[in-house]
Chain A
């Protein structure tokens, strides 16, 4: 579903992502983890074709995002870290616009269900300008779920959500996984990642330093069974003085 092949991204003299390769298969949630400045957001923005890779390829449903961006993005739903809704569009108009942009107006029949689950139905006629930070996040998620995307990219999707919203969003993610969708989720919430993700990809300074299931990571680090993902993450990303 999503293949990142030897991706590198350079901003001026800084190499933000360095020869990164990983795959997210159908029916799989992959957590993209790493300390601040590791290159998570840059990777996700490259997948969403907001940034142009310096080298390497990204395939979405078999389409290269650089060569055939429109076909590639037809399969993609993207939720940015800090969503900015159109101030002068209502919640419902956002959904109608996104459905029209993906040519899937018939999917609007699910709008009430999605908005109700995310506590937005009562605000369906409110303008984007009047929404709180959490509501904006929920709206971006609702827009991602309104069309039949096969690959989902979430950049810190749980930040700013209330507990109910978090639970609903995680539930919706798991439902989509069961339906065979692929999901790439960047997060700092390691306990959530441990429970939600089938595999994790850990980055440090733009480089992939570990990839696999939590069990595989434990085996690799020769950790005991009660060691959490957080412990392993800190062990993997810890700075060694003088290195």
Chain B
């Protein structure tokens, strides 16, 4: 135990030392903290605002009381009201949450946590330690129970994380409105009661999940059983909500069988409800504590040999973690490699084409072997885009046209374009991320592809051809669906989706490819962040060029002329980006070094 304690301490100390002495590691961590801290900051800001508003409201009530209440006998609390007194102005300004909604949402949330933790236990994540642990800890004369205890703190942190997250969500709910719970009492619970209850409840499930991981070897069937049960439960809840509303769901959640089966969730929910109703929660907390200790005792009761399962999980997760250091593309490749294809599913496609054509064909075949993300998903996304766009905008424009006449029909048109553009923007972001993954994958394949006698720009076109085709497929199907469903301004939207967006996407993907080549160290988080940031801002000057190309349309009050200008400008831009990306690729292959973007305009490096 002492050896493990020393090792853990040294690891922590050296990690902190490395973190604080290496800006490349520190800056991404700080940025990540900022991302997590932002919602917390927003939360505390709105909470403080809400508190100030309440104070102001209370002050207003006091002033109102001073005007309309008068003390009859000095030194006593006996008061009288004026005839103008309005009691409704004394109701608290904060809205009340329906008690049924509060208790139901709380209990459902805790049940969801229970199921997801048990699902983790039935998976292979809990027994995945580090590869170093397998090599140095497992063969050492250390009891398996001690190594399990070494794994436990991370599980406890997991339970604590779940507790804090849930508490954050509940606080968000109760911040702006008070739960109007029945049978209010007088006991003010200490601040730590709710987090402790949630931690103990999560901890019991975590220990149970670990126990399952250690003792049940073939867990896949059980996991599928859990999914079926959870699905059935969700259908029951939805059906009850549909037929009887929230009261029906509440009655179902109060059923003795369900409460007994998920007793830690029940006790935690009861503790929180008691705490919010200002009733004593001590006995429930005590039971939770006893339950937690019992779950620990059960976990450590046997000395089962779990090393073999752990090694399999560790190898899988170590490979994924290693791959994740190389970006999303690396992780996707590792994940795809971890699937065991059945022999009847493996097939080969004959080579086709020459030079860059053969390379493009290879990418196309690879994409065809995973049709779900590469073909099916873009088609479904396109149909969804077209359907939502057509139906929502039909309703919206009809309402706008009915309520306004004359110049407001132009406002309705503007609304149509804005909404379609807004929808397309989110699709755009998603596809840009996919294209970036392809660019990163091309860096990973560089050693394999660079000896091929293919011009740089052709190599880039072959590498990015598949994501551009997938994007074009999505938007083209979106355009066809939109037209078929009779969406407003169908011809213009169809040209936008079918021609402008794919052309523009092709150009921007190639531009992004240049940035990815300029920052090729995919394992360096800081470099990746800088690359993404530059990728975002470098497109701005070209946005200005595109805006200029639309000016004739603005002057002539013709959207079509603007659209034609936008289409025409895409061709020289695409050519320019492809030319530069080709140069960057050739230079990167020749030198093996990162490419300086501005050096592309000069002579040789």
State the A residues within 8 Å of B (CB).
48-52, 66, 69-71, 73-74, 76, 78, 80, 83-90, 93-94, 96-98, 100-103, 127-128, 140, 143
Contacts and interface: CB of A to CB of B under 8 A. Distances in A.
A89 B141 contact: no
A2 B400 CA distance: 87
Most buried by A among B14, B305, B318: B14
Given A49-B307, A50-B311, A97 B10 contact: yes
Given A88-B11, A88-B15, A50 B3 contact: no
Interface string B135-148: 11111111110000
B2 A100 contact: yes
A84 B135 contact: yes
A50 to B, nearest CB: 5
Contacts of B3: 97-98, 100-101
Contacts of B2: 100
B447 interface: no
B132 A85 contact: yes
B398 interface: no
A20 to B, nearest CB: 18
Nearest to B11: A88
Given A52-B308, A97-B3, A74 B135 contact: no
A16 to B, nearest CB: 12
Contacts of B140: 73, 98, 101-102
B139 A84 contact: no
B7 interface: yes
A73 to B, nearest CB: 4
B18 interface: yes
Contact of B11 (A71, A73, A86, A102): A86
* Interface SS of A by simple majority: mixed
B143 A89 contact: no
A113 B557 CA distance: 86
A76 B139 contact: yes
Interface string B2-41: 1110110011001100100000000000000000000000
Contacts of A80: 134-135
A89 B18 CA distance: 11
B139 A73 contact: yes
Most buried by A among B131, B135, B138: B135
B130 interface: yes
A78 to B, nearest CB: 4
Nearest to A93: B10
Nearest to B307: A50
A74 B141 contact: yes
Interface string B301-336: 000010110010000001000000000000000000
B324 to A, nearest CB: 15
A97 B136 contact: yes
24 contacts: A49-B139, A50-B139, A66-B305, A73-B140, A73-B141, A74-B141, A76-B139, A78-B139, A80-B134, A84-B130, A84-B131, A86-B130, A86-B136, A89-B14, A90-B10, A90-B14, A93-B7, A94-B136, A97-B136, A100-B3, A101-B140, A101-B142, A127-B14, A143-B136
